[in-house]
Chain A
Amino acid sequence: MDAFDHLLHGFSVAAQPLNLAYVFLGCLLGTVIGVLPGIGPAAAIALLLPITYGIEPTSSLIMLCGIYYGAMYGGSTTSILINTPGESSSVMTALDGYAMARSGRAGAALAISAIASFVAGTISVVLLSLLAVPLAGFALKFGPAEYFTLMLFAMTSVAALTGPSLAKGLLSMFLGLMFATIGIDLQSGQQRFTFDLPELQDGIGFIVVVVGLFAIAEVFSGLEDLLKGRSEIIRMSGSLWLTREEWRRSVMPILRGTGIGFFKGVLPGAGATIATILSYSVERMLSREKAKFGTGMIEGVAGPEAANNASTGGAMVPLLTLGVPGSGSTAVLLAAFIMYGLQPGPLLFEKRPDLVWGLIASMYIGNLVLLVLNLPLVGVFVRLLYIPIGLLLPMVVSISAIGIFAVNGNIFELYLALGFGVIGYVFRKLAVPVAPLVLSLVLGGMMEQSFRQAMTISGADPGVFVRSPICISLLAASVLALSIPFVAPLLRRLVAQPAAA
């Protein structure tokens, strides 16, 4: 057990003034660019990667990790303040975080998201240094069949996010799955529903949909409220800081979110997103005020934020030990590693312990820097809400345009986002939830493709989905998740009847 020695050594690498400066710079740049709607960690790293060319590899990777964390936090900030998630893993934060901001608790929501991220990041770094090697082989156990069952399980949690009307929730989910099928079909190479537009060949990007459904739709309804004289200036109620009650309610969600996040993060694929969905549904399930979720429950911010950040640590396990990227962001990090001539994998731990542990230590320092950087900024960010709506919302449109254009440089995507903005506005009027659409868009494509890959590999034998213990337990969990809404009232009635009699 010399992991701690290594970690200490790692800290001595990471704490060199130059590397500290790079962590700080990375966090700062990451936050700045992560605040753009639709730009999450993966896009931020990709955009800022060129800046790090020419820096010494260890420092450069340390800076990239800083960007990763900074962008993640920047995404949470926009989720809370203007209802626009930076990536799929902060969609859940927007649900209650934005509602909190609307009721004057933006300061508390931002603070708890920074604190939850810090606590989760800290715990997951410790878990990473202890468990990286034992967990190493786990990611390789995940073939297409296991992926499919994992996605199926995640979709059952998405389906539970429906709100009052099941029909409207499912409609949103199936529309997301429908949009996920647009583009070149990976398995057959055939174009599906692209209308011969080359822009649609790669499918509809998450960024486009999320900016449309969240940011632009928000602009429409915000301006409508203004037009009708309904928009009240949001008054900050209470202090910027958390109340004692809010603290109390956040502790357990943070710890549970951390656990869920780390172990989901270890799984490659959509680890972080699934972790946030699971954390949110767990908190709602455990809460006595289920119906209030979506109206500004701090548990619904603290849990997913912790899960999101802890999964970063988790995602580093397959990346560092196997060279398998666990998420879009770690895939970009992997590309950066390879560019510097470093091959992640067990050998990296032996040959470049200074780099691996320096990286792990700077992840921790990155968390600390974010906390130091962002808690004082909460006050500044919250002031954004004081900007008159008639000035703020037009700027949101421009910032959205920058965010979308920066990634692919494609004007067509701007029109597409505007179209989704109109859809989002109509959905809002009709009270159709948008989160299931966004999440199933992200998960649906992977679900279909891994199902068909598994069928090709097994030679069209559906038995492949019940052959491994991982598949069987995930299938069982899906069935359980689907049946709980039906079984729980029955059980309650059974318990209640004897009491009444």
Chain B
Amino acid sequence: MNASSAKPAAPAPALRRLPAVLLLVATLATAAAYLRATLELPYPELADPLGPKIFPILVSGGLFLCALLMVVDLWRTRDGRVPVLLEGNQPFDLRSTLMVAGITAWTALYFFVFERAGFVLSTAVFLAGLMSVFNAGHRVANLCTAAGFTIGAWVLFTRVLSVRLPQGILPF
């Protein structure tokens, strides 16, 4: 139903199908790596009748089955129709990908100093940084929000609810 109702492909059909092909490749690679890791597990001398490998082997079989379903879908739509696999997809673009990579790096840095510098310092800096990029032009409001949220959360969780957060290098 879904495949037949799809419109003829937009500009470059081969390129449009690329995400689906990449998903297939990633699925195959995951399934193969997982199966390999399972087979490499040492077999314990003492174990239950089934042992620790059967279930992971079945799961990797399931992953291969998914790959097979994807191949069938791609094969059926080789005439340029849109595969079911691509339904609901959003295109990737360089700018967003770079942005996500940037936020990931900034967040990783935040987590890296989370315990070392302490919650208050790391969070205030992290928030102020992100906000100044994504809410540009409101410098005072951003700084106030970052500081206010950080201190409010710190007081609420550590002082009122006795939830532990890293204190770090600040004396309080």
Known: A188-B44, A455-B49. A174 touches B92 (CB 8 A): no
In the complex, A456→B37 CA distance in Å? Answer: 25
Task: Please give, as numbers and ranges, the residues of chain B lying within 8 Å of A228 by CB-CB distance.
Answer: 96
The contact of B103 among A177, A223, A391, A455, by CB within 8 Å, is A223
The reply to whether A178 and B63 form a contact with Cβ atoms under 8 Å apart is yes
Residue contact B127 to A395, C-beta cutoff 8 Å: yes
| A168 (CB) vs chain B CBs: closest residue | B85
Partner of A394, one of B51, B60, B130, B163: B130
SS class of chain A's interface: helix, strand, loop or mixed?
helix
Residues of A with C-beta under 8 A to B52: 185, 187-188, 190, 192
Q: A394, B126: Cβ atoms under 8 Å?
A: yes
Most buried by A among B63, B107, B161: B107
Cβ of B79 under 8 Å from chain A: no
**A167 at interface by CB-CB < 8 Å:** yes
Whether the Cβ atoms of A188 and B48 lie closer than 8 Å is yes
Q: B115 — which chain A residues lie within 8 A by C-beta?
A: 411
What B residues does A189 contact at CB under 8 A? Answer: 44
Chain A residues with CB below 8 A from B95, complex form: 227
Contact at B55–A448, with CB atoms within 8 Å?
yes
Chain A residues, CB < 8 A from B59: 174, 177-178, 181
Q: Given A165-B73, A227-B95, A430-B89, A418 and B104 touching (CB < 8 A)?
A: yes
Which one, B62, B99, B131, contacts A390 given CB within 8 A?
B131
Interface residues of A in 174-202 (CB under 8 A from B): 174-175, 177-178, 181, 185, 187-190, 192-193
Interface-side segment among A83-91, A303-311, A401-409: A401-409
Alpha-carbon distance A401/B153, docked complex (angstroms)? 12
Cα distance A391–B150 when bound, in Å?
Answer: 13
- Nearest CB to that of A176 among chain B residues? B59
* B42 nearest CB neighbor, chain A only: A190
Contacts of A164 in B (CB 8 A): 2, 84, 87-88
A249 to B34, CA, bound (A): 45
* A390 and B135 within 8 A (CB): yes
Residue of B nearest to A217 (CB): B100
A29 with B161: CB separation less than 8 A: yes
* Complex contacts, A421 vs chain B, CB 8 Å: 104
Residue B29 at the chain A interface, CB threshold 8 Å: no
With A174-B62, A430-B19 known to touch, is A397 a contact of B107 (CB < 8 Å)? yes
Q: Is B56 in contact with chain A by the CB < 8 A criterion?
A: yes
Interchain CB contact under 8 A, A167 and B66: yes
* Chain B residues, Cβ within 8 Å of A452: 48-50, 55
CA distance A164 to B86 in the complex (A): 10
Whether A393 touches B134, Cβ cut-off 8 Å, given contacts A227-B99, A429-B89, is yes
Query: Measured between C-beta atoms, what is the minimum distance from B99 to chain A in Å?
Result: 6
B65 at the interface (CB under 8 A from A): yes
Q: Which of B88, B92, B164 contacts A406 (CB 8 A)?
A: B164
Residues of chain A contacted by B42 (CB below 8 angstroms): 190
Q: Which residues of A contact B63 (CB under 8 A)?
A: 171, 174-175, 178
Whether A472 is near chain B, meaning CB under 8 Å from some CB there, is no
Q: Are A167 and B100 in contact (CB under 8 A)?
A: no
In the assembled complex, which residues on chain A have CB atoms less than 8 Å from the CB atom of B47?
Answer: 187-188, 190
Given A166-B69, A431-B89, A448-B55 in contact, is the A388-B135 Cβ separation under 8 Å?
yes
Interface centre among A391, A398, A431 (most CB of B within 10 A): A398
A residues engaging B (CB < 8 A)?
A: 29, 32-33, 47-48, 50-51, 163-168, 170-171, 173-175, 177-178, 181, 185, 187-190, 192-193, 216, 219-220, 223-224, 226-228, 388-391, 393-395, 397-399, 401-402, 405-406, 409, 411, 414-415, 418, 421-422, 425, 428-432, 448, 451-453, 455-456, 459-460
A168-B85, A399-B153 known; 14 new pairs, CB 8 Å cut-off, are A48-B161, A51-B161, A167-B66, A167-B69, A167-B70, A170-B62, A190-B47, A190-B52, A192-B41, A224-B99, A390-B130, A394-B126, A395-B149, A397-B130
